Structure 1
Amino acid sequence: MTTSNTPTKHLPADERRAATVESVVALAASCNPSDITTAAIAEHMQVTQGALFRHFPSKDAIWEATMGWVAERLLSRIDRAAKGIASPLAAMEAMFMSHVEFVVAHPGVPRMMFGELPRAELTPAKRMAQTLIQRYGERLHGLMAQAKACGELPPELDNEAAATLFIGTIQGLVMQSLLAGDVTRIRRDAPRVFDIYRRGIRSAA
């Protein structure tokens, strides 16, 4: 990841855009995302604001690209975690823990998500975040259907509610870790919390 000690003045355009996004994620880990200005991003990258705007037409475009970065990496991560696991429930657990590790590695991401979603207007970044949740839910629905087919989950389970609870449980863990000022505590809590979630959806009627 690009840091303030890594000048980006001479990077190709694609790498400059990627470095801009990574700088936003890094800055969001230590300050309020709503306070991140293009001047702060440029300073972090050791470039001018003019250099930023040669690659992004606006700050909203930077935020949209950042949400796209989050979606691509998070979904790729959970897909890799679940790949090759025969048990659908075990695959869901692997996704859960992989998501937790993503948050620990990029603590600025949930701060940006929580800051973007409550906005009344449907910004491009907010639309991207909504698409991420939808695509995440589709993966969960697929695994739950498989789990029902092989007898790991009861056929009466409400897939929509169970998927909402899965994502909401992670969000709750993240919020508590941020309030505690220690994002790594989510690693300690996640296994016990998922165990309760698993027992709950197994016994759903």
Structure 2
Amino acid sequence: MDRVNDGFLRSRGGTAKLLDDCIADASRQEAARAEVTRALLRDLKAEFQGRRADAPSVVAAPVGVPTAPTQTPLAAPAPNGDFFLAGPGRKKLGERRRRILACYVSMLADKRNERITTAALAQFMELSEAALYRNFASKGAMLESLIDAVEDALFAQIEQIDRHAVRYRLDTRSHVAMLVALPLKFAEAYPGASRLMAGDALAVEDSQLRNRMTMVFVRFESTLLGALLRGESVPKRNPAGLAAALCAFSVGRMLRFSNSGFADMPTADLDACLEMMLR
């Protein structure tokens, strides 16, 4: 297949084929995870087909996931937080542990200005705190498992894009733009998880947890740098600086999303921003 060299925001067959393959791969993953993965990738594909850089940004939420959080009754079944908690790497959690984490994520989205305590979580789930501690040694262990789940889900999707970008020799600007867009769309789909990613839900928690979340984005920045170094179409005057700026842009967008009560979408005007940053 010929190398794709046109502008990274314009529609072209190579990128569409790449995303078609990503969607096909996602369909072979575990059902709970695949539904979300396909929806995110379809949304990305739509942006790369026929959208102008100055067009208003419209974000399509994954099937079954509301764009804004809703209050969940105490006796409700586990919310759609099962998304990334049901992937292959998370099976070791067990059903009860996944449910606890899913409800924690739901509460992060619903109670944006409150610290989530184990007492509040137990009440939300109609369990005793002792039942929570039989599954997790501490609240910190619970949050660490959540961060692990976010990282697993995010990088599973990033690895799909990386693999197919190599296979189809996608131009660097398109590849990097898709990598930057993916965590932002993930944050939009899962507002509770976005609070972990932005760090505000960890502000009053143990510093080790904040460092653990920081390391996820150190890994993401390294992924961006690798894509820039392997490519040919982005100037290499300072690829490390560009990767750091793109990563900081992503984290900043997620923090604004969280601080705005999930009103300021991370992908708003994303095309125009990436066009300026990836000249």
TM-score (ref. length: structure 1): 0.79
State the one-letter code of the partner of 1:89: R
Cα distance 1:133–1:178, how it changes in 2: closer, same or farther (>3 A)? closer
**Counterpart in the other structure of 2:95:** 15
Cα-Cα RMSD: 2.7
Runs ≥4 residues deviating over 4 A:
116-121
Cα distance 1:176–1:133, how it changes in 2: closer, same or farther (>3 A)? closer
State the one-letter code of the partner of 2:271: P
Distance in 1 (alpha carbons) for counterparts of 2:247 and 2:93? 35
Cα distance 1:48–1:173, how it changes in 2: closer, same or farther (>3 A)? same
Cα distance 1:13–1:106, how it changes in 2: closer, same or farther (>3 A)? closer
State the one-letter code of the partner of 1:103: A
Distance in 1 (alpha carbons) for counterparts of 2:226 and 2:199? 26
Distance in 1 (alpha carbons) for counterparts of 2:271 and 2:152? 25
Among candidates 181, 186, 200, match of residue 115 of structure 1: 200
Among candidates 181, 190, 197, match of residue 106 of structure 1: 190
Distance in 2 (alpha carbons) for counterparts of 1:13 and 1:78? 23
Distance in 2 (alpha carbons) for counterparts of 1:82 and 1:13? 28
Verify: 1:35 aligned to 2:106, yes or no.
Answer: no
Distance in 2 (alpha carbons) for counterparts of 1:82 and 1:33? 37
Residue deviations 1:97-142, cap 9 Å, x none? 211210111112232342256569632x223212212221221121
Verify: 1:96 aligned to 2:180, yes or no.
Answer: yes
Offset at 1:169?
0.9
**Counterpart in the other structure of 2:213:** 129
Offset at 1:94?
1.1
Q: What residue ranges of structure 1 are gaps of 5+ in the alignment?
A: 200-205
TM-score (ref. length: structure 2): 0.60
Q: Percent identity?
A: 21
Verify: 1:174 aligned to 2:254, yes or no.
Answer: yes
**Counterpart in the other structure of 1:164:** 244
Cα distance 1:70–1:59, how it changes in 2: closer, same or farther (>3 A)? same
Verify: 1:5 aligned to 2:76, yes or no.
Answer: yes
Higher helix share: 1
Among candidates 158, 170, 175, match of residue 78 of structure 1: 158
Distance in 1 (alpha carbons) for counterparts of 2:216 and 2:254? 17
Offset at 1:35?
1.2
Verify: 1:154 aligned to 2:225, yes or no.
Answer: no
